[in-house]
Chain A
């Protein structure tokens, strides 16, 4: 593999992390179990004080902290939210994050936050729209930036590209990193009837700096990326398939609904750490 995005930016594999969620504010900073890094959703820390800030400060004392946003609206038609970007920049500096990330999607229309990760059409027009916005964000925040492949339940109208080509065009033209959500690949592959491994092979894996693992919920006609269950065996298998091609990559266990005990989430992180140890060197 050619020089990777991580190598170009001096980013080291960080191991296995979990998200700092409200139910863990008290317990996580004191845990004696193995943990390599902590993910935060910036929106929960930009304007909210109190327990969230105390927990963040305590975690920062122990682990690297990686902000992973949901509100940047990188693909949306509205101008980037200045207050948000300024706050995000300050937060990234405060936690001294080696990089930050958000989703390749839109989340705001006409000034209204939709609080969801809505898919873009896989089109050249969307690539052309997103790329300068990614560059602007990287310039303003001043740290490496990763875009995540979102889950989606319907292909949007106007699409002219394959999903993998769309992702590739955006991250290569913007020259940003790729946060590869393995569960999203699995969910999308089943929902849209394609081969997950072939999809992964078509991605610019040299740009992958972080991986996400999560659970999902199966309904009769669709699988929804709920982050509300354990990582299933098929996703673990797909994760190992990715690691065999990328080598060890910082991996997050995402659990955002029906959140179980901290130990249960850390058990998943332990499993990811085992897989990371078994992965070939990059």
Chain B
């Protein structure tokens, strides 16, 4: 590459890393005689910032509402300055945002549920867009391969289901299960229940209905209904014979 072109990229890189008046001045200083209108050149800085902001606002709508517009604006600005877009797919830049939020929660006086909520929202998207193909047909009871498990200290499932209608999620430990429904291809989620965990245990450990009935004394029909219900919701996949 010719030095002149390398110098061009270096100058644009410095500007686009932190678009603003100062960096725009510096850009023009590196190209004496460049007569392009400043407001036109600054469009590119606005565009690059806007793409990051747009992705964050799409993936984290509840987190944005929860922290409020002023804090959100500062968070977006500072997260953007970490240059998070390292993947050709735009939404991937959001992956590091929950951890970023976790790091600054105390120093910025954010609600303690903000970072876990962001992690929930990112997981919602990641599950929705997961590359895993549904393994159909299956030969035995199988956990949905898109399943993600989150542990946090708030009742986020109820909060998210209500689209953040409450001022804050209720406190309390929660194990959240998120997965993509194999037919509807939408993210499903629930606070883990003993029944759901039992069905997942059966899938992961290859336990049959009879195994579990013998071990727990649970009525066969009740167990079958539990497995069937969770299979209908896509948490697990049933083999063609319908037996676990």
B16 touches A47 (CB 8 A): no
**Chain B residue at smallest Cβ distance from A42:** B88
Q: Mark A52-92, 1 if CB is under 8 A from B, else 0.
A: 10100000000000000001000011000100100000000
Which one of B3-11, B69-77, B113-121, B213-221 is at the A interface? B3-11
Report the separation of the CA atoms of residues A10 and B132 in the bound assembly, to the nearest whole angstrom: 37
**Bound CA–CA A76/B83 (angstroms):** 17
Query: Contact partner of A43 among B86, B88, B130, CB < 8 A?
Result: B88
Q: CA–CA, A157 to B9, complex, Å? A: 11
A1 within 8 A of B: no
Is A113 a contact of B85 with CB atoms below 8 Å? yes
Please give me the residue from chain A that is nearest to B126 by CB atom. A48
Give 1 or 0 for each of B18-42: 1 = CB within 8 Å of chain A CB.
Answer: 0000000000000100101101110
Q: Given A114-B48, A125-B4, A126-B5, are A48 and B12 also a contact pair (CB < 8 Å)?
A: no
Kindly state whether residue B51 has any CB partner on chain A within 8 Å. Answer: yes
In-complex Cβ contact of A123 among B5, B37, B48, B85 (8 A) = B5
Taking a contact as CB atoms closer than 8 A, the residue among A109, A121, A126, A221 that contacts B16 in the complex is A109
Q: A43-B88, A43-B90, A157-B34 are in contact. Are A115 and B48 (CB under 8 A)?
A: yes
Q: Are B44 and A153 in contact (CB under 8 A)?
A: yes
Complex CA distance for A44 and B91, rounded to whole angstroms? 10
Residues of chain A lying within 8 A (CB to CB) of residue B133: 49
B89: CB under 8 A from chain A? yes
Majority-rule SS of B interface residues: helix
Instruction: A113 to B91: give the CA distance in the assembly, Å.
Output: 11
- Which chain B positions have C-beta within 8 A of A128? 2
Q: Does B150 have its Cβ within 8 Å of any Cβ on chain A?
A: no
In the bound assembly, the distance between CA atoms of A156 and B128 in angstroms comes to 40
Nearest CB in chain B to that of A25: its residue: B185
Flag whether A116 is at the interface (Cβ < 8 A). Answer: yes
Residues of the A chain whose Cβ atoms lie less than 8 Å from the Cβ of B4: 123, 125, 158
| A48 close to B48 (CB less than 8 A) | no
Closest to B48 in A: A114
Instruction: Decide if B64 is an interface residue (CB 8 Å cutoff).
Output: no
Instruction: Tell me whether A47 and B89 are in contact (CB under 8 A).
Output: yes
Asked, given contacts A50-B180, A158-B31, A222-B43, whether A77 binds B85 with beta carbons under 8 Å apart, the answer is: no
Q: Which residues of B contact A114 (CB under 8 A)?
A: 16, 48, 51, 85
7 A-B contacts (beta carbon < 8 Å)? A43-B90, A46-B88, A49-B130, A49-B133, A50-B129, A114-B85, A128-B2
Q: A116-B44, A116-B47 are in contact. List 17 more A-B contacts (CB 8 A).
A: A49-B129, A49-B133, A50-B128, A109-B12, A112-B17, A112-B83, A114-B16, A114-B48, A115-B48, A121-B8, A123-B5, A153-B41, A153-B44, A154-B44, A158-B5, A221-B39, A222-B39
